[in-house]
Amino acid sequence: MTGRAISLWLGLVTLALMLAALCMVFVYVPTEADQGIVQRIFYFHVPCAWVAFAAFALVAIAGIFYLWLGQQVWDDLGYAAAESGMVFCTLVLVTGSIWAKPIWGAWWTWDSRLTTTLILWLLYGGYLMLRAMAGDSEQGARFGAVVGIVAAADVPIVIVSVRLWRTIHPAVLVTRQGGHGLEDPRMVETLLVSLAAFTALFIWILCLRFVTLRMHTRLVALVRSLALAEAAAHDS
Amino acid sequence: MMASFAAVLRKDLLLEVRGGQSTVALGALSLLVLVVLVFAFNPGGGEQGIEAAAGALWVALVFSGMLGATRAVSGEGENGCIRALLMSPIDRAALYAAKLAAAFIFMAVAEVGSIILMVLFFNLEFDARLMRLAPAVLLGALGFAALATLLAGISSRLRGGDLVLPLLAVPMFVPALIAGVKASAAALAGTPIGEFAMWLKVLVAFDVMFIAAGYLLFEYVVGED
């Protein structure tokens, strides 16, 4: 199967899953008793968070393989994962805020989970800035791999410190998410379908971006070899 | 390995003693940060004043650390010194350790000044509690130096890279920043040792992680180009 056929199929699967998830979220699943209609955003929020975390783990893994094997393909994968992960991480923060305003009465609190996600977002924002500045160079790929690995290694310490910070401080709000006690089996089913839909969406976007980056790499290599050949012809 | 580490570190310190301005610049920056934060917070006495003082001290540490690491690493860019260093038969890890040590020493000197200024500006007392600050601040300076030396290796080799250093270093430093501010506030307030020790553990974990990461990855940062 060619790359184009794969991405077409992935797109179709994503479309089907996403339509199913939308139907379930808005029609099938019962409204949560305490929080009302706003709780339905939970079925978008949690899959986005899962995808963002998976994407950033992928950045670090691709970084390790890039430094180890030195093949450009690993860097293209890592870069594509960071860009797609950033989209989902932004969505996590946005959907979380929309949920928090009516439930907690504030757009933002410095709860440990929120703080950790924000720091992740900042870390990978820095990664993307770095990549944008470094341009398409082998050096940029190396720097990206190093930062991707260090950022991922930093995450466990961030989680621990932020949690300690917030448990020592008295919590202003009770931060137990209502959606966690999914008492109705239909809620679990909806969450699972939604998780599958967002995972498929992520893989699709990742593939599209990855293929584009691969083409870009080949183009850059072609341009370089052309310039070299021209220079050689000019000299002789 | 030890010999090359000592040689590079000696060179950096000698350069500083013979009229490099790193420590002076770091101290001046710390002074400015503290003054600005006094204006911003207008701290009163008591517990609130202690929290503000601890926070201000760590903001000064972050800013001076950024400058210190940049100077220790990017100073080598002048006259292509970095190329000569890389051509010499020095282990990359030894080079990292020496640069880290230099940045740490500059920061530690600036921190001593910051602590004295903090006591003056925030109306605290010169007493035994300041001694308990020392381990927290030194561990924080070590962690920041480890992190910033690695990242300064990256930022010094990019056009416009001085913008990248704070963007990457500050979010990565957040765990140590939280732990450091909390440990310093606990030390200054004279609370029982338990909470202070817990935050010190976080700082130690941070330092160990970043020194290991820098040690392993610095070679890829300075690279062969």
Highest mean pLDDT among A1-15, A78-92, B25-39, B70-84: A78-92
Shortest Cα distance, chain B CAs vs residue A110, angstroms: 13
Lowest-pLDDT range of A10-24, A173-187, B46-60, B115-129: A173-187
Residue A63 has pLDDT above 90, yes or no: yes
Nearest CB to A139 within list B167, B172, B223: B223
Band of the pLDDT at A32, cuts 50, 70, 90?
A: confident
- Percent pLDDT > 70 in chain A is 92
Q: State the pLDDT at residue B45.
A: 66
DSSP-derived secondary structure for B115-179: HHHHHHHTT---STHHHHHHHHHHHHHHHHHHHHHHHHHHHTTSTTGGGHHHHHHHHHHHHHHHH
Q: Which amino acid is at B160?
A: G
pTM of the model: 0.87
User: What is the rounded CA–CA span in Å between residue A80 and residue A84?
Assistant: 6
> Hey, where are the domains in chain A?
3-174+182-235
Segment A101-117 mean pLDDT: 85
Residue A172 has pLDDT above 50, yes or no: no
Q: State the pLDDT at residue A225.
A: 92
Mean pLDDT of chain A: 86
Task: Report chain A's terminal Cα–Cα distance, integer Å.
Answer: 44
Answer whether B225 sits within 8 Å of A147, measured CB to CB.
Answer: no
Q: What is the pLDDT of residue B160?
A: 75
Between these two residues, B81 and A226, which has the higher pLDDT value? A226
Give the pLDDT confidence score for residue A171 in this predicted structure.
46
Is A178's pLDDT higher than 70?
A: no
CA A90 to chain B, closest CA, distance in angstroms equals: 16
**Encoding tokens for residue A221?**
């290599």
Is residue A174 pLDDT above 60, yes or no? no
pLDDT at B224: 61
Spatial distance between the Cα atoms of B26 and B143, rounded to a whole number of angstroms? 17
Q: Taking CB atoms and an 8 Å cutoff, what residues of chain A touch B206?
A: 157
Q: Check B220 against A123: CB less than 8 A apart.
A: no
From chain A, the residues in CB contact with B210 under 8 A are: 150
pLDDT at A170 over 80: no
- CB contact burial A171-199 (16+ within 10 A = b; e otherwise): eeeeeebebeebeeeebeebbebbbbbbb
Closest chain A C-alpha to B192 CA, distance in angstroms = 14
Task: Tell me the count of A-B CB pairs closer than 8 A.
Answer: 91
Residue A175's pLDDT is 47
Per-residue pLDDT of chain B (225 residues; tens, 9 = 90+): 788 888 888 888 888 888 767 788 888 888 999 999 988 887 776 777 888 889 999 999 998 888 877 777 777 766 677 777 777 778 888 888 988 998 898 888 888 889 999 888 888 888 888 888 889 999 999 999 999 889 988 888 887 777 888 889 999 999 999 999 989 988 888 777 788 888 899 999 999 999 999 999 988 888 765
Identify which of B141, B21, B128 has the alpha carbon closest to the alpha carbon of residue B71.
Answer: B21
Tell whether A162 lies on the interface with B, counting CB pairs under 8 A. Answer: yes
pLDDT of B4: 83
Is B217 in the A-facing interface, judged by CB distances under 8 Å? yes
Question: Measuring CA to CA, how many Å separate B179 from each of A173, B62, B107, B139, B191?
Answer: 22, 14, 18, 10, 15
Which pair of structure tokens corresponds to residue B191?
Answer: 């609370």
State yes or no: pLDDT of A90 exceeds 90.
yes
Q: Quick one: B124 exposed, middle or buried, by C-beta within 10 A (0-12, 13-18, 19+)? A: middle
Residue A177 has pLDDT above 60, yes or no: no
Q: Do A126 and B167 touch (CB under 8 A)?
A: yes
Q: Which residues contact A67 (CB under 8 A, 6 or more apart)?
A: A142, A145, A146, A149, B217, B220
* Whole-number pLDDT of residue B225: 52
**In the predicted structure, residue A227 carries a pLDDT above the cut 50:** yes
